[in-house]
Structure 1
Amino acid sequence: MIIVKTAEEIELMRESALIVSKTLGMLAKEVKPGVTTLQLDALAETFIRDHGGVPGFLGLYDFPNSLCMSPNAQVVHGIPNDTPLVEGDIISIDCGVLKNEFYGDHAYTFEVGEVAPETKKLLDITKESLYVGIRQFKKGNRVQDVGYAIQKYTEDHGYGVVRELVGHGLGRKMHEDPEMPNYGKRGRGKKFVEGMVVAIEPMINLGTRRIKQLKDGWTILTADGKPSAHFEHNVALVGGKPELLSTFQYVYDALGIESGEEEEFRQKKLQL
């Protein structure tokens, strides 16, 4: 069942989402060769609590940490460890926050120093596909309209779209209806309704779409060992159009990147 949010609840969710956004922005300055994912995880937990939130992943389904940290061929759900990052790595950082009884949950894939051109292109196309999908989250459309758009955009570039893992509704629970796959056929699935809030999150592989799971019960890897990229936003349906609750602007400010990619999805100016 889709749980529709009131305007007031959407604003509370924006607060939670923006703590995630600020956490990712803080981490952007710390992602560099030599740092371990456990060190980044500790920084994130402290930052989240200092900003009035609770780490949304810590203990959720018995997950042991505050961040899902997934480098290179890891798709999602990687567990932080003591292995230092090295030049040329990429790493998906997925972060959740609980505040005011509502969750925020989004992700960004970072470059560690200089990465291979084909890997950088994978990141660029995956992030572009996120916005291609968000454009379809609008009045009159259905769940698989979003998935179809993401699938076509990324498969046209020769990439593999993970099937077993999907986006989701978001609210008082981390995972609510509907599931939001990154593949599908136009005109199928549940119809979008005003007040919905979803997490849209393309998980796109450089090679095969097939995946495997490590014995830790969490970490998902590409079956062929090639890199995977993951970007995620939280989006509400407001006035029949997609309204971003999350932002990558804190990441861009930290990295000195100029981008206007989010402007079309904001009905009011973001107060940074």
Structure 2
Amino acid sequence: MAIAIKTPQEIQKMRRSGEVLSQVHEAVRQAVKPGVSTMDLEKIAERKIAELGGKPAFKGYMDYPACLCTSVNNEVIHGIPSASKQLKDGDIVSVDCGVILDGYYSDAAVTHAVGKTSAATRKLLEVTKQSLEQAIQEVKVGQTLGDIGAAVQEFCEAEGFGVVREFVGHGIGKKMHEDPQVPNYGKRGKGTKLRAGMVLAIEPMINAGRPEVKVLGDGWTAVTVDGSWSAHFEHTVAVTEDGPLVLTR
């Protein structure tokens, strides 16, 4: 496993990519409401990426057809935007997006509540979001990938939620997916040690029910096996001598 160590200059380029991506996410967030289609969100993101001088990281990647992954309710990740999929009051939609700027990638995801959601759904979103923050706190020189995974797993399983195993986070830089893989489960002190200059896309995917998922016939959309709803939050984070640097905040 050859992990690319980024220079401070490269991390600054990734930070600029991440700043563009955060603005794209904000534009999409403002548009999320009942009656909007996931294709409407896609068009907003595509326009915003172009306006800010970036390129979509997902579109065309392994023939994926869109800039966004828009995963609704029991869809975990990789939901394909569609004009026929309209958001309803009480739904949740996970929006995953990546940007290329000046040859460097950034990757981030947010799950939005649509209108008024139930207390149980709000808890799923809050716990998943908090688990990402817990994981980010582990991004320090000398910590391990196992520490990151354990932070997510311990926090979410204590609340009775299922931690997805089939999909994991990843290194990122001049390519969308680089070494190492970054699971959302693990044992503290185990796995690769973190070094300054590593950049990781950390992305808890957490189910309200059991952890198992399956991929639908479109070859992309992953859904929960038990039909429970799923949340997904992600940031691109650099390991620095001063601790974690979130590039997509």
Within 1, Cα distance between the matches of 2:94 and 2:226? 18
Does the 8 A contact of 1:168 with 1:199 survive in 2? yes
What's the offset of the Cα at 1:39?
A: 1.1
Return the match for 1:152 from 151, 154, 177: 154
Cα separation, 2, equivalents of 1:33 and 1:146: 35
For 1:164-175, list aligned pairs within 5 A.
164-175=166-177
Q: By how many angstroms is 1:189 displaced?
A: 1.0
8 Å CA contact retained: 1:194, 1:240:
no
1:101 corresponds to = 103
* Separation (CA, whole Å) in 2 of partners of 1:241 and 1:2: 19
Distance 1:194 1:52 in 2: 29
Q: Give the Cα–Cα distance (whole angstroms) in 1 for the partners of residues 206 and 143 of structure 2.
A: 23
In structure 2, stretches of 5+ residues that fail to align are none
Inter-partner Cα distance in structure 2 for 1:46 and 1:176: 27
**Structure 1 counterpart of 2:186, one-letter code:** G
AA aligned opposite 1:144? G
Gaps of at least 5 residues in structure 1 are 248-272
Deviation at 1:240, TM superposition (A): 4.7
Cα distance in 2, alignment partners of residues 124 and 61 from structure 1: 32
Question: 2: CA distance between counterparts of 1:16 and 1:141?
Answer: 26
Q: Secondary structure at the match of 2:31?
A: coil
Output the TM-score relative to the length of structure 1: 0.90
Correspondent of 1:239 among 221, 238, 241: 241
Task: Provide the residue aligned with 1:5 in structure 2.
Answer: 6
Structure 1 outlier segments of 4+, above 2 Å: none
Return the offset for 1:89.
Answer: 0.4
**What SS does the corresponding residue of 1:29 show, helix, strand or coil?**
helix
The CA deviation string for residues 67-86 of structure 1, in whole angstroms up to 9 with x for no partner, is 00001000000000121100
Using structure 2 for the length normalisation, give the TM-score. Answer: 0.98
Residue 186 of structure 1 and its aligned partner are, at CA, apart by 1.2
1:1-272 residue pairs with structure 2 within 5 A? Answer: 1-82=2-83, 83-247=85-249
Cα distance between partner residues in 1 of 2:20 and 2:107: 10
* Secondary structure class of the residue paired with 1:28: helix
Q: Residue type of the partner of 2:200?
A: V
Letter in 2 for 1:116: S
Tell me the distance in 1 between the aligned counterparts of 2:171 and 2:97: 16
Give the secondary structure class of the aligned counterpart of 1:132: helix
Name the SS of the counterpart of 2:129 in structure 1.
helix
Note if contact 2:141-2:240 (Cα within 8 Å) is conserved in structure 1: no
- C-alpha distance in structure 2 between counterparts of 1:163 and 1:18, whole Å: 29
Any conservation in 2 of the 1:45–1:66 contact (CA below 8 Å)?
yes
The percent identity for this pair of structures is 49
Count of residues in correspondence between the two structures: 247
> How far is the alpha carbon of 1:207 from its aligned partner?
0.2
RMSD: 0.7
Amino acid paired to 2:247: L
> Contact (CA 8 Å) 2:150, 2:185: kept in 1 or not?
yes
Quick one: distance in 2 between partners of 1:181 and 1:95?
Answer: 19
